[in-house]
Chain A
Amino acid sequence: MAYLELKNIEKSFGETQIIRGVDLEINKGEFIVFVGPSGCGKSTLLRLIAGLEPITKGKLLLDGKDITWAPSGKRDLAMVFQSYALYPHMSVYDNMSFALKLAGVSKGEIRAKVEYAAQTLNLTQYLDRTPKDLSGGQRQRVAIGRAIVRAPKVFLFDEPLSNLDAALRGNTRVEIHKLHRALGATTIYVTHDQVEAMTLADRVVVLRDGLIEQVGTPLELYDHPANRFVAQFIGMPSMNMVAASAIPSFSAATGGRLPSDGFLGVRPEGLRVHPKQAAVSGVQGRVELIEALGADTLIHVDVGGVPLIARQNERTPLHAGDDVAVELDPSVLHLFNHEGRAVPA
């Protein structure tokens, strides 16, 4: 049985419907990432689970118990906020122990728990400081520590890394990953950063306009996107999407399985770009731009007005303006019908 269960959850603010019927089952110990573009409702969904906004319709079950109407404090969830939301007038120790104090835990037990969490998060020497004397990364760790000491049933993270600089974000991401492995706690993590989604998640939930587009492991989403939206949202750079009629020889490569009004999707690594004279097959195009990233190279090609991006591991002798031939790897094609739904390749 699922540990946390969302049953047809809806949320409206006045006339505006933000969440339009979400069903989701989360297993114990799972790391779930909600991902989607701004305004897709991912943060709202998290706040509904947290009890910070009332659910308009639907049911929320945690460990078999209906918590749809339970107040936040009674749900046994802990949340790490985007802005950290530490109590500015309390020391790090008091910040981390506040919830336990309210719960009436004994002083000795509180001390043991806070010290253990502080040790885990490298905060021991900062326990007496107030948040304003800490760096952004340290504040973030205090926020996580405040959640850990409570040993809640589910951890909620609301874009916790978006206020950190790039280097720190990478490190903290790894820390969160390790922490989850160490604690094995059920976690829901909201982000708009698909790298965070891909690296952290056991399963990713892709949201758009208040609806779930697809739920799956990161690689499932990458390899078998359910629709055009997921296909183009997951993966960097995003999947090339070509209308069936735009490049006839590409469409022909699908062996007639691509609907005539559908779309052909191909990841950048599924395209090979050859200098024209060496070309054995493939369609004609012209190089628009080369992005040499070191480990791999992105080649932007214009094929009869259709912009495509190819990724290759080797460096390229090509230059912008060169005429090239673009070849397709037929084994990695994604086919979509006119509504954008995936059809079996």
Chain B
Amino acid sequence: MQPSNFLPQLLRTAGAWAVALLLFFPLGWLILTAFKTELQAIHVPPLFVFEPTLDNFSEVQRRSDYLLYARNSLITSLGSTIIGLLIAAPAAYSMAFFRTKRTRDILMWMLSTKMMPAVGALVPIYVLAQTAGLLDSLTALTIVFTLSNLPIMVWMLYSAYKDIPNEILEAARMDGASLWTEFRHVVLPLSVGGLASTGLLCLVLSWNEAFWALNLSSAKAGTLATLIASYSSPEGLFWAKLSAASLMAIAPIVVFGWFSQKQLVQGLTFGAVK
């Protein structure tokens, strides 16, 4: 490296580290606090060196059955992802390969529903869930998660399918493929990356969903998002336990996201680069 370039390079690196640390700080703080006692957690000045403890984690499991919430999160996320893919895949397929005059409008309309604040639909959906006897049920959460992710899923799959040249499908038809064979042997293998990233994104979004989970569920069907919220209770804040609960709630999806980040990025930039 030339000496004249050294200083700017150093500054850029330092700047990048500063921004990265700033962004990571809340998460880092959360991780540290999860391993402190309640007293250490509210200590001023904050402690960076202390003897870590796992008490908070066992306390969280003892007090509020972490595994039940985790199971609920898993069921609703996986359920909404699978149902969502089953609906979105054929929908996107028909829009990508059998276009009509209105296809574009329908796609835009679907996306526009995401522009409405969720709270706008809270009362009707709450009343619907109540009337159907589905309050605090996994069914209601799965349905709502599916519906709220569906527009994005259709869009992502639509752009994944658009990358498949129509002539390849025509070739399959000439070869005698039925609609199902064509989908199974040609469309599916060629869009498996798109399906995977769509599924992953839907899984992450459902796992992290808090608004509907908080409003439609409580003790029985509550997901990890409601578990975290339950620790900011009227009896006062327990920073260490709240941190431990948060860490336990986000850990699975963070680890999962870390391993699948390549797929996720690929899915989100579909069609952006030819």
Contacts and interface: CB of A to CB of B under 8 A. Distances in A.
Interface of A: 50-52, 71-74, 77-79, 81-83, 85-89, 98-99, 102-103, 146, 150
Given A52-B170, A73-B173, A73-B174, 5 more contacts: A51-B173, A73-B178, A79-B170, A98-B177, A102-B176
B170 A99 contact: no
Taking residues whose C-beta sits less than 8 angstroms from the other chain, chain B's interface range is 10 to 19
Nearest to A79: B174
B117 interface: no
B110 to A, nearest CB: 26
Interface string B178-189: 100100011001
B190 interface: yes
Contacts of A85: 165, 167-168, 170-171
Contacts of A87: 168, 171-172, 186
A299 B127 CA distance: 88
B175 interface: yes
A77 B189 contact: no
A102 B177 contact: yes
Contacts of A52: 170, 173-174
Contacts of B167: 81-83, 85
Contacts of A99: 174-176
A52 B189 CA distance: 22
A83 B165 contact: yes
B265 to A, nearest CB: 22
B223 to A, nearest CB: 37
A3 B134 CA distance: 65
Contacts of A74: 176
A174 B175 CA distance: 26
Nearest to B167: A85
Nearest to A74: B176
B97 to A, nearest CB: 12
B101 to A, nearest CB: 10
Nearest to A143: B171
A82 B171 CA distance: 11
Contacts of A81: 167, 170-171
A interface, by DSSP: helix, strand, loop or mixed? loop
A94 to B, nearest CB: 10
Interface of B: 165, 167-168, 170-178, 181, 185-186, 189-190
5 contacts: A79-B170, A82-B167, A83-B167, A87-B172, A99-B175
Contacts of A150: 175
A98 B170 contact: no
A102 B171 contact: no
Contacts of B174: 50, 52, 72-73, 77-79, 99
A146 B167 CA distance: 14
A89 B190 CA distance: 7
B189 to A, nearest CB: 5
Contacts of B170: 50, 52, 72, 79, 81, 85
Contact of B173 (A72, A86, A88, A89): A72
A52 B181 CA distance: 17
B25 to A, nearest CB: 45
A102 B170 CA distance: 15
B171 A103 contact: no
Q: Which of B167, B170, B174 is most buried by chain A, counting CB atoms within 10 A of its CB?
A: B174
A77 B170 CA distance: 12
Contacts of A103: 176
A156 to B, nearest CB: 8
B56 to A, nearest CB: 49
Contacts of B178: 73
B175 A73 contact: yes
A73 B165 CA distance: 19
Top 10 nearest A-B pairs (CB, nearest first) are: A73-B176, A99-B175, A85-B167, A85-B171, A72-B173, A89-B189, A102-B176, A81-B167, A79-B174, A85-B168
Contacts of B176: 73-74, 99, 102-103
Contacts of B186: 87
A71 B173 contact: yes
A146 B170 CA distance: 14
Q: Which of A77, A79, A82 is most buried by chain B, counting CB atoms within 10 A of its CB?
A: A79
A83 B91 CA distance: 27
A103 B181 CA distance: 12
Nearest to B190: A89
Contact of A73 (B168, B177, B190): B177
Q: Which of B170, B172, B173, B181 is most buried by chain A, counting CB atoms within 10 A of its CB?
A: B170
Contacts of B185: 98
Nearest to B181: A102
A144 B61 CA distance: 65
B165 to A, nearest CB: 7
B181 A88 contact: no
A89 B186 CA distance: 8
Contacts of B173: 51-52, 71-73
A157 to B, nearest CB: 12
Contacts of B168: 85-88
A62 B17 CA distance: 72
A79 B172 CA distance: 10
Nearest to B188: A89
Nearest to B173: A72
Contacts of B171: 79, 81, 85-87, 146
Contacts of A89: 189-190
Nearest to A83: B167
A86 B170 CA distance: 11
Contacts of B190: 88-89
